[in-house]
């Protein structure tokens, strides 16, 4: 069983609409509140060599990325920490607050607890006008598909390239970009924390459409090959779809990587790609 199968089980109980998106949506007055929660564990989620301050930063960044992917402005973050040692809390909270401060959110509180393995859960709350809210659903054939953010940096850092280690440990959520994309009338959006390829598959399934990706349009940073860029996770960029005219006229951030088509699945230069990326294994 993988994460996505478990989500299906949960969807059967709480309703599919509550599991489709990165964030829960709560209509509130003339705004939508969006909320997202993420659990990170020392062994499975934090790379070796990361500092406690970076752990705090990263824990907040992953949640702000979910908020950003709806077009919302993050307003508040709560942090629950299961600590193997109480001495770690100061650096973790310091890093968490730095990330909140940078992106305009307030670190509003949380919970602490002792635990054998460091475990951090951040919950972010954001606000967006209903007309600017973007969900994962809405992509339509004829549109283009775009990515905003670096590709493969985190994966490369994880594989030991020192040039990209900071990108791995201090991901920069695309908050202002997400807000601008929401205001610009794009059709769907999600973050690519699990990797570009698997995110494209998620979007394909949910929208009942497919993607024709052009290999040459995937930008490769220095020393990063196509596979790392396309399948690597942890980069926290934004994947979105929109009309080509919108992309041009509004000078949307990021780059076009292909087209939305009727036929489901994800193809690169016409060849079906592997549905792989970051996913927990449960066996």
Q: Least CB distance from residue 112 to a copy of itself, whole Å?
A: 5
Q: Is the Cβ of residue 256 or residue 276 nearer to a copy of itself in the bound state?
A: 276
Q: Helix (H, G, I), strand (E, B), or coil: what is residue 39?
A: strand
Question: Do 95 and 133 contact (CB within 8 A), yes or no?
Answer: no
Q: Is the Cβ of residue 7 or residue 159 nearer to a copy of itself in the bound state?
A: 7
Q: Least CB distance from residue 283 to a copy of itself, whole Å?
A: 9
Q: Least CB distance from residue 269 to a copy of itself, whole Å?
A: 35
Q: Least CB distance from residue 61 to a copy of itself, whole Å?
A: 15
Q: Is the Cβ of residue 14 or residue 270 nearer to a copy of itself in the bound state?
A: 14
Q: Helix (H, G, I), strand (E, B), or coil: what is residue 40?
A: strand
Q: Least CB distance from residue 136 to a copy of itself, whole Å?
A: 13
Q: Helix (H, G, I), strand (E, B), or coil: what is residue 113?
A: strand
Q: Least CB distance from residue 18 to a copy of itself, whole Å?
A: 5
Tell me which residues touch a copy of itself (CB under 8 A): 1, 3, 5-7, 9-10, 13-14, 18-19, 21, 23-26, 28-31, 33, 35-41, 44, 75-76, 78-83, 85-86, 89-90, 93-94, 97, 106-117, 119, 121, 123, 125, 127, 280-282
- Those residues whose C-beta lies under 8 Å from the C-beta of residue 239, and which sit 6 or more positions away, are 145, 146, 147, 189, 190, 191, 192, 196, 199, 200, 203
Tokens of 226: 């196509």
The stretches of 124-183 forming alpha helices (DSSP H) are: 153-158, 165-169, 175-183
Q: Is the Cβ of residue 76 or residue 221 nearer to a copy of itself in the bound state?
A: 76
- Which phi and psi (to 5°) does residue 248 adopt? -70, -50
Q: Is the Cβ of residue 123 or residue 221 nearer to a copy of itself in the bound state?
A: 123
* DSSP bridge partners of 255: 147
Q: Is the Cβ of residue 88 or residue 256 nearer to a copy of itself in the bound state?
A: 88
E-assigned strand segments in the chain: 24-28, 31-41, 73-83, 106-114, 119-128, 144-148, 188-191, 210-213, 238-242, 255-261, 265-268, 271-272
């Amino acid at each position: 069983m993988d994460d996505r199968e478990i989500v299906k089980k949960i969807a059967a109980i709480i309703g599919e609409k509550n599991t489709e998106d990165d964030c829960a949506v709560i209509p509130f007055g003339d705004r939508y509140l969006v909320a997202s929660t993420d659990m990170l564990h020392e062994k499975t989620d934090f790379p070796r060599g990361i500092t406690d301050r970076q752990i705090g930063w990263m824990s907040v960044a992953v949640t702000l990325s979910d908020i950003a992917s709806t077009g919302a402005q993050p307003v508040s973050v709560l942090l629950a920490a299961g600590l193997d040692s109480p001495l770690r809390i100061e650096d973790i909270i310091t890093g968490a607050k730095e990330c909140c401060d940078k992106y305009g959110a307030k670190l509003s509180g949380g919970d602490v607890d002792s635990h054998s393995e460091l475990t951090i859960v951040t919950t972010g709350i954001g606000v967006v006008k209903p007309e600017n809210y973007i969900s994962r659903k809405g992509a339509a054939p004829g549109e283009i598909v775009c990515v905003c953010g670096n590709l493969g940096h985190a994966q490369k850092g994880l594989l030991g390239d020192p040039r990209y280690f900071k990108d791995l440990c201090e991901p920069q959520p695309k908050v202002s970009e997400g807000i601008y994309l929401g205001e610009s009338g794009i059709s769907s959006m999600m973050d690519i924390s699990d990797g570009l390829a698997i995110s494209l598959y998620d979007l394909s399934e949910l929208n009942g459409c497919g993607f024709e990706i052009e290999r040459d349009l995937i930008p490769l940073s220095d020393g990063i090959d196509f596979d790392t860029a396309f399948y690597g996770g942890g980069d926290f960029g934004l994947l979105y779809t929109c009309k080509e005219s919108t992309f041009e006229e509004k000078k949307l951030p990021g780059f076009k990587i292909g087209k939305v088509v009727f036929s489901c699945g994800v193809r690169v230069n016409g060849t079906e790609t592997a549905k792989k990326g970051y996913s927990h294994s449960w066996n």
